[in-house]
Amino acid sequence: MKKLVIVALAVAAAACVSESTMRVEANQQFQQMRRQLPISTDPAQRAYIFCVAQSVLRVVEEPYASRAWEIEVFDMPDANAFAMPGGKIGIFSGLLDVAQDQHQLAAVIGHEIAHVTREHQVAQANRGMMTQGAAAVLGASVGMQQEAQALAQVGLTLPFSRQHEREADEVGLIYMAEAGFDPRASITLWKNMEEKSTGPRPPQFLSTHPAPEDRMGKLIAGMSGALDRYNAALARGVRPVCE
């Protein structure tokens, strides 16, 4: 049984998705979203969001800093945002109900950009292949495909996702601070998120995101270093005014 799982993982890992392939796919998906979802036509809203995003992008490292990033604002009520390989950023207008000032918005955007600069989507795509391979062999060997898929998901995909979320929080905190946004706003942001969330949350070990209290605890732990970077940015005259 153990050997079968190892073989499945090895086979799946051989078909790795490259970052360049992900950039092509992401561009296609982003343009499709632009065609199918309503786009915000509020010039003030768009200018505000673009200002915050561009301010954060100025501090990202190469090769990401040199990419031609595209930013779009979708007129959707969801409190959501994303960044995709190749430099695509999408903000749903409903996010502004939760991210209530430029600092809180920068916390979200920094977090999403960090997923790209740390190539989390690429790693997650490859991990997904491993999950499917493991589930296929487990299902064939014990005759319980559904249970095997659930086991592989809990054992592989979800913990990997939580690891990425924590890293994106840490890196995003650095980005926003170096861009001149107050990193303490990240704590307020996640409190707002928690207050506006509805319905019971799954246990942390079955969630792709860390529990809010865990997330805020990690942010607080890294706040001292982030504040040093923030104060250094202010001393250099980095003071974005996007409101």
Give me the active site residues, please: 112
CB 16 within 8 A of CB 70: no
| Alpha carbon separation from 159 to 118, 123, 134 (Å, rounded) | 17, 13, 16
Distance, in Å, from the CA atom of 118 to the CA atom of 166, rounded to the nearest integer, reads: 12
Q: How many CA atoms lie within 13 A of 4 on its CB side?
A: 11
Strands 81-84 and 70-74: unpaired
18: left (phi over 0), alpha (psi -120 to 50) or beta: beta
Distance, in Å, from the CA atom of 123 to the CA atom of 167, rounded to the nearest integer, reads: 13
